[in-house]
Amino acid sequence: MTYVETYLEDIWSKTKQFMKNSGYVDAIVYDTYFDESSLKDLSESKAVIVVPTQIQKVILLQETGFIVSSLKSVLDKDVDCDIYTQFEFAKRPSASLVHPNIIDNLDEDGVLSFYTFDNFVVGPSNKESHSAALACAYNPGKFYNPLFIFGNSGLGKTHLLNSIGNYVKKNYPDKRVLYTSGADFVTRVVSSIKDNSIEEFKLSMQMVDVLLMDDIQFLAGKEKSHEIFFYIFNDLVNNRRQIVLTSDRHPQEIKGLEERLISRFSSGLSVGVDSPEFETSLAILKKKMEYQSVDPTFIEDDVLAYIATNFSKDVRKLEGALNRLLFYSINFSNSGRIDFKTAVSAFKGQTAVSDKNELSANKIKRVVADYYGLTKQQLISKSRTKNIANARHIAMYLCRKHLDLPFIKIGEEFGKRDHSTVISSCDKVDKQCKNDEVFLLAIKEIERSLI
C-alpha cells in the first residue's frame, strides 16, 4: 500500500467511525451500505468514495449531506462527494486528485541513505548523543521524546538524525519515517496555507511514526509554523510517536521560540555534541578514507595527526582538509605516499580551510601557553620560574622564526623586555634544538598547532 493510500484510508476510517457512532443511521444500515465503502481520492474540494455495488451507491447518494458533514468533522472543511461503484471507478482517468504537497510529504521520507550509525565515529565528544540517538532508533517513541540534539555546525547532528532514519527503515519497515528540516517545514506550511491544504498537511504529518526534524531553530519567529508544529508535536508525542530534533544551540537559547514549545522540548532529553578530540578526529579521518577506498598507508601518520590537530573544530572542515590533501596528491605529488612536506604545500596559503586564525604573536603566546599549561599572562610576566621562563623563550623564538618580528618588537610583546634579552633567549632555544632531540620534538609539535 502506498503512503497516499494509507493516508486516504486513515481519513476514511476516522470518518466511518464518526458515521457509525453518530447514530444518524441504524447499525444494520451502516453495516450493509456504509461499511464497505472506501475513500479513493481527495482534493481541495472533492472526495471520491467508492462502494462495491450499485445498491450501496444509491443509498449513499441519498445520504450525501451526512457524509459531507462527517468528513468535515475529520478534515475541518467542506468537500463535495462523488460516489462511484468499483466498476465505474475503474474506468475513471487515473490521475490522483490528492494535493501534490501531500503526495510529496508522504511518498518521500527525505532520509539521506549515506548517513548511518555504521559510518559514524563515536568518541567522548558525541558519545552521549550517539547513545541517545541509537536508543530512539532501537525503540522508537519509548525512551526520550523528544530527543533534542544541539551543537555547532559540522559536528554530526544531521548525520545522527539520518542514522536514526536509516536504522528504523531497515529494522522496522512498517514504521513511517520523515526527515525534514525547520526551513522545509516553514516552506511547506506557507505553501499549504496558500493552497488551502493546511489540514491535509497536518493530517499527513500526524501519520508519521518517527519525525526527524533538523535545524529547528529556523522556526524561530515564524508564528504560524510554530502553532502548527506545536499541534503536530503534541499529537505525535501523545500517540507515542518518536520525535528527534536538532538545533545549533540549546532549546533555551533559541530566541523567538515560544515558551510552551521550549518547555515541551525540555520534557524529553537534550544532549550536546562537541568538537571531536584528537583521537576521534583521527578515527573519523581513517573512517572517511576507508569509505573512499583510500589505502590506509597512503597518508603518513604524522600528516593525519597534523590534520586532526588543525582542522578538528568542525568535522566538515576535517573532511574538507582530507579531500584537499587527496586532491592535491593526485594532481601535484609524484611520490607514492603523502608525507609531511606534501601536506604542508597542500595547505600553504589555505587559511580559508583551516579553522585557525592567521599567525600572530598573540596566537603564538596562546599556543605555547596552552602547551605548557600556563596562561598568556604568566608568559609575559616578570616570573623567572624555570618552566615559565622556558616557555617564554620558546614563544619568543617562534615569533622570530615564523613572524620575523624585530627583536625590539618581540621584547615589547613579552612584558617590555629589552631586545638583548630576546636575542639571548632565541639563541638559547636555537642551541637546545640542536642538542636535545626531545626538546626539538616539543617545538615541532607546537609548530604544528600554529599552522
DSSP bridge partners of 83: 49
The reply to whether 153 sits near ligand ADP by the rule CB under 6 A is yes
Contact predicate 378/393, CB 8 Å:
no
Cβ nearer to ligand ADP, comparing 170 with 316: 316
At closest approach, how far in Å is the CB of 271 from ligand ADP? 13
Distance of alpha carbon 99 from alpha carbon 374, whole angstroms: 64
Name the strand (E) or helix (H) holding 81: strand 80-85
The reply to whether 212 sits near ligand ADP by the rule CB under 6 A is no
* Cβ count within 10 A of residue 122: 16
Select from 118-126, 220-228, 298-306, 367-375 the region that touches ligand ADP (CB under 6 A).
118-126
At closest approach, how far in Å is the CB of 123 from ligand ADP? 7
At closest approach, how far in Å is the CB of 261 from Mg ion? 20
φ, ψ for residue 298, nearest 5 deg = -65, -35
CA atoms in the 13 A half-sphere facing the CB of 412 = 4
Restricting to residues 299-338, name those near ligand ADP by CB under 6 A.
315-316, 319
Cβ nearer to ligand ADP, comparing 101 with 158: 158
φ, ψ for residue 381, nearest 5 deg = -75, 180
Q: Which of 15, 129, 158, 310 binds ligand ADP (CB under 6 A)?
A: 158
At closest approach, how far in Å is the CB of 162 from ligand ADP? 8
Which of 199, 189, 205 has its CA nearest to residue 239?
Answer: 205
At closest approach, how far in Å is the CB of 175 from ligand ADP? 22
Contact predicate 179/109, CB 8 Å:
yes
Total length of the chain: 451
Name the strand (E) or helix (H) holding 132: helix 127-138
The reply to whether 148 sits near ligand ADP by the rule CB under 6 A is no
Name the strand (E) or helix (H) holding 244: strand 242-247
The reply to whether 217 sits near ligand ADP by the rule CB under 6 A is no
The reply to whether 158 sits near Mg ion by the rule CB under 5 A is yes
Contact predicate 221/182, CB 8 Å:
no
* Cβ count within 10 A of residue 419: 14
At closest approach, how far in Å is the CB of 149 from ligand ADP? 8
Q: Which three cell numbers stand for residue 100?
A: 501534490
At closest approach, how far in Å is the CB of 295 from ligand ADP? 20
Cβ nearer to Mg ion, comparing 157 with 317: 157
- Kindly determine how many residues on this chain lie close enough to bind ligand ADP according to the rule CB under 6 A: 17
Degrees to nearest 5, angle at CA 53 with 50 and 56? 75
Q: Which of 121, 137, 399, 410 binds ligand ADP (CB under 6 A)?
A: 121
Restricting to residues 273-292, name those near ligand ADP by CB under 6 A.
284, 287
From Mg ion, ligand ADP, none, which one binds at residue 271 (CB under 5 to 8 Å depending on kind)?
A: none
Distance of alpha carbon 110 from alpha carbon 177, whole angstroms: 8
The reply to whether 10 sits near ligand ADP by the rule CB under 6 A is no
Contacting residues toward Mg ion, per CB under 5 A: 157-158
Binding residues for ligand ADP, rule: CB under 6 A, are: 115, 119-121, 126, 153-159, 284, 287, 315-316, 319
